[in-house]
Structure 1
Amino acid sequence: MYVAVVVVREYDAKTDSRAVEEVENRCEVGPSGKLSLYTHLLGDPVCRVRHSPASLMLVAEMTVGGGGDDKDKREIVGMIRGCIKTVTCGSKVSRNGKNCPTLPLPLPLYTKLAYILGLRVSPSHRRMGIGLKLVQKMEEWFVDNGAEYSYMATEKDNLPSLELFTGKCGYSQFRTPAILVQPVYAHRVRVSKKATIIKLSPADAEALYRRRFATTEFFPRDIDAILNNKLCLGTFLAVPVGSWSGPDGFLGGSWAVISVWNCMEVFRLEVRGASRVRRALAAGTRAVDRALPWLRLPSVPEVFRPFGFHFLFGLGGDGPDAAGYVRALCGRAHNLARERGCGVVVTEVAKREPLRLGIPHWKRLSCAEDLWCIKRLGEDYSEGCVGDWTKSPPGMSIFVDPRDF
């Protein structure tokens, strides 16, 4: 008689790396379909949480024991990653709804937030409660380290994930941002000559973000660590031609800003399930684009093999021409991704983000409604005490931390 026991423990880089990668490569990201998305780690299973202030990776190990001289068989059948950081969950306002009279600007209220990502269970071991055990063990670590809220992201059509988190773990649907994906073409895209694009130093970028975005929901308190990270390829500011007078004097008219994160150095993606006809058509568009780049024809990148991508974050701006400047910045980001061999450029924005109109993307590759679910882990110890954040209405914008994508 064989007895199977599942133990959830901390990931051991010396012994677990290969087994974790094998499970990752067998698990599709999101719901199954004719075309499925898979993740390829680049030799470091902890890469997706390594750059966060506090992080942990757990694995589920199944041990099958038998009688007689049989040796126990151990197999990793699942894993989960989690991280904790401090983010903005609101702003200080007076009781009558106006800004605090002693403050020139609203001040952010912070909370300690945990994030779950990279939950995987081997296809042959699903519906055995392994995912639930992984989530519960990770939440114990969150609570022990002072996290006040936990959240996760999934596709709205991923019913197994929703059943686990909202049906069994007590999470509630919170925000529905959009993931916008632009292919990287063989040709360079044109960037509007009406905009001057400046690459800001990390210090100037931090000053800008703290000045203009510190009260935006999910804004990370350690924005300086993100901007100074080696994976951050820079922060780019677009302003009218001839208006740039330094980082302290440009905010009077229209402007836009965006930062670029190099995900291709962390992991790769792959689309599986495409027919030979679809692959051939995609290859044909690339061949024409390479042969006739001056025509600037849209082409489908090679996404049917592992490909890398850049993530655009910190999207913001103001003024009547801000959306146009965002488009110029996205053009600059596309050309940078092309130089570095990326397959796509990705960004994520709030459902009601007004600057969304300036972001070029393909609807077929994008996700109109990503779903963020949240759970309150205990009493709210947020600075200033905003009550229960899970019941707060959505704002116009969110700040998507590139370390969480």
Structure 2
Amino acid sequence: MGEVVILVREYDGEKDCLEVEEVERNCEVGPSGKMSLFTHMLGDPLSRIRHSPAFLMLVAEMKMGAEKKIVGLIRGCIKTVTCGKKVSRLGKNGHQYASDNHNRSLPIYTKLAYILGLRVSPSHRRMGIGLKLVNRVEQWFRENGAEYSYMATEKDNEASLTLFTHRCGYSKFRTPSILVQPVFAHQVKISKEVSIFKLTASEAETLYRRQFSTVEFFPRDIDSVLTNKLNLGTFVAVSSNTYSSQSWPGVEGFLSDLPKSWAVLSIWNNKEVFMLEVCGASRIKRALAKTTRVVDRVFPWMGIPSVPNVFRPFGSHFLYGLGGNGPHAVKLTKVLCGFAHNLARKHGCSIVATEVSGQEPLRVGIPHWKRLSCEEDYWCMKRLGEDYSDGSVGDWTKCPPGFSIFVDPREL
């Protein structure tokens, strides 16, 4: 028997795809009797990161004599985002510009790296493979100028948390919630008291830059997100008394005289990137879910909530860029979520999901099933080097959380 060597190298799509899929499959299926979620990458392991400005996928290959086998993998991407801070824009005489709100302040951006999809085959754990992968991808982050690195995991994933917080120097940074709503067999009724407008990509970019650019994790290349083929559109909801379906004033008119209440969200089509599947459910749970579908189909007028068939591969839509203001913003958000539900139904998806800050004021207006959702996801962050943006930022890892975060749909 020859010496065992672990080599970390860049993913080769032509020869590694099948082995990577096998590693993913072995890692996603949970223990007997426990439900878990398996991700079908639709033949493209890079699909979760290839829409980011810069990305890399590494594999850990075990060599023993002439035999080679992939036993681990990791994905990483880099983008420029706001730290959630803002500084005044000063004129030559030191006085602040005073033309309008969006010119009086500027967001502070930093180069941020994101780690996702760390996998190590169950039979090859506790060999330091995960640590090797993390160290190597962090090296790539530093070489490409990233100032911070972060990752997300479930709060009960002790192995992942131990690796990142105890061995890699990460610390818990934010605890957002993943909210998941099943797509029912019947449509959600949209109130006639609410008008919904679809923005062009240009209009959406203007709105987001004016209203969201100082929200934590807002991507500087928001235009690339909004023009991506996976983006299904950005939608604004207002009271019908504010604008009728034919009287949208354009985004400049909207922003120059904001309604007392409004809400906005964008929709990302995950179905074109990957499919999901719930594994490990008991026969009883499967039977109960099927019963809800049968009853909903027979008595659709009752609007009985039903559980779609999530025990075979299914598609999903992701809601991002949620925001708004005013006394009726929560109600308008709920209406927009109903609109998104109907669009997902039309596209044959089984769930609609979003991720928001635990302190997000609008989250009470987001319909979701607690049993399908994750109330507390862990985002852990590490400072890779000095922050080269404005000196007033300091160390972002020590900044208190704001009310909202901007979740980039490219990193799901």
TM-score interval w.r.t. the shorter chain?
Answer: over 0.9
* TM-score, scaled to structure 1: 0.94
Identify the residue that residue 68 of structure 1 maps to in structure 2. none
Shift of 1:385: 4.8
Letter in 2 for 1:228: T
Equivalent-residue separation in structure 1 for 2:73 and 2:335 (angstroms) = 40
Identify the residue that residue 317 of structure 1 maps to in structure 2. 324
Equivalent-residue separation in structure 2 for 1:215 and 1:29 (angstroms) = 39
- Alpha-carbon spacing, 1:190–1:29, altered in 2? closer, same or farther (3 Å): farther
- Answer yes or no: is 1:329 the counterpart of 2:315: no
- Answer yes or no: is 1:117 the counterpart of 2:116: yes
Contact 1:289/1:296 (<8 A) preserved: yes
CA offset digits 1:253-301 (Å, max 9, x no partner):
2000000000111111111111112111111111221222211110011
Contact 2:238/2:259 (<8 A) preserved: no
Letter in 2 for 1:337: A
Q: Which runs of at least 4 in structure 1 moved beyond 6 Å after TM superposition?
A: 29-33
Equivalent-residue separation in structure 2 for 1:30 and 1:385 (angstroms) = 45
CA offset digits 1:144-179 (Å, max 9, x no partner):
000000000001110000000001000000000000
Superposition map of 1:201-220 within 5 A? 201-220=200-219
Shift of 1:37: 1.3
Equivalent in 326, 340, 347 of residue 340 of structure 1: 347
Q: Which runs of 5+ in 2 are unaligned?
A: 89-94, 244-248
Superposition map of 1:372-383 within 5 A? 372-383=379-390
Equivalent-residue separation in structure 2 for 1:160 and 1:31 (angstroms) = 15
Superposition map of 1:349-360 within 5 A? 349-360=356-367
Provide the identity percentage: 68
The answer to which of 384-393 and 370-379 deviates more is 384-393
Letter in 2 for 1:365: L
Superposition map of 1:265-344 within 5 A? 265-344=272-351
Equivalent-residue separation in structure 1 for 2:140 and 2:30 (angstroms) = 25
Shift of 1:191: 1.6
- Answer yes or no: is 1:151 the counterpart of 2:150: yes
Equivalent-residue separation in structure 2 for 1:347 and 1:331 (angstroms) = 13
Identify the residue that residue 394 of structure 2 maps to in structure 1. 387
Identify the residue that residue 69 of structure 1 maps to in structure 2. none
Q: Which runs of 5+ in 1 are unaligned?
A: 66-71, 95-99
Equivalent-residue separation in structure 1 for 2:128 and 2:32 (angstroms) = 20
Letter in 1 for 2:51: H
Equivalent-residue separation in structure 1 for 2:148 and 2:199 (angstroms) = 33
Shift of 1:2: 3.3
Equivalent-residue separation in structure 1 for 2:127 and 2:3 (angstroms) = 14
Equivalent-residue separation in structure 2 for 1:22 and 1:187 (angstroms) = 37
Equivalent-residue separation in structure 2 for 1:317 and 1:79 (angstroms) = 39
Shift of 1:249: 2.7
Identify the residue that residue 189 of structure 1 maps to in structure 2. 188
- C-alpha root-mean-square deviation of aligned residues, in Å? 1.5
Equivalent-residue separation in structure 1 for 2:343 and 2:252 (angstroms) = 27
SS state at 1:249 partner: helix
Identify the residue that residue 56 of structure 2 maps to in structure 1. 56
SS state at 2:217 partner: coil
CA offset digits 1:164-209 (Å, max 9, x no partner):
0001000000000000000000111112221100111000000000
* TM-score, scaled to structure 2: 0.93
- Answer yes or no: is 1:38 the counterpart of 2:38: yes
Contact 2:32/2:280 (<8 A) preserved: no
